[in-house]
């Protein structure tokens, strides 16, 4: 296994490689990495305290 003192660096390297891969895809395809989320649920609902739920 991976020694405890090496776990964080391994995680960081793996995450960085993923970010770079996404950046390369973005640059090659000229597409956004993650579409903007638009809330579709009800708006203006009344808040109910936990005790009355």
Domain hosting residue 5, numbered range: 1-33
Residue 42, in any domain of the structure: no
pLDDT at 33: 67
Residue 25, in any domain of the structure: yes
pTM of the model: 0.50
The pLDDT tens digits for 9-49 are 999 999 999 999 988 988 898 877 666 778 889 999 999 99
pLDDT at 9: 96
Is pLDDT at 8 greater than 90 in this prediction? yes
pLDDT at 17: 96
Cβ atoms of 26 and 32 within 8 Å: the answer is: yes
pLDDT at 12: 97
Residue 15, in any domain of the structure: yes
In the chain, the number of structural domains is: 1
The CA distances from residue 2 to 10, 26, 49, in Å, are: 9, 32, 47
């Amino acid at each position: 296994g991976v020694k405890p003192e090496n776990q964080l660096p391994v995680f960081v390297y793996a995450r960085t490689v993923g970010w770079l891969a996404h950046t390369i895809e973005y640059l090659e395809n000229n597409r956004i990495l993650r579409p903007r989320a638009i809330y579709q649920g009800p708006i203006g609902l009344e808040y109910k305290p936990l005790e009355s739920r």
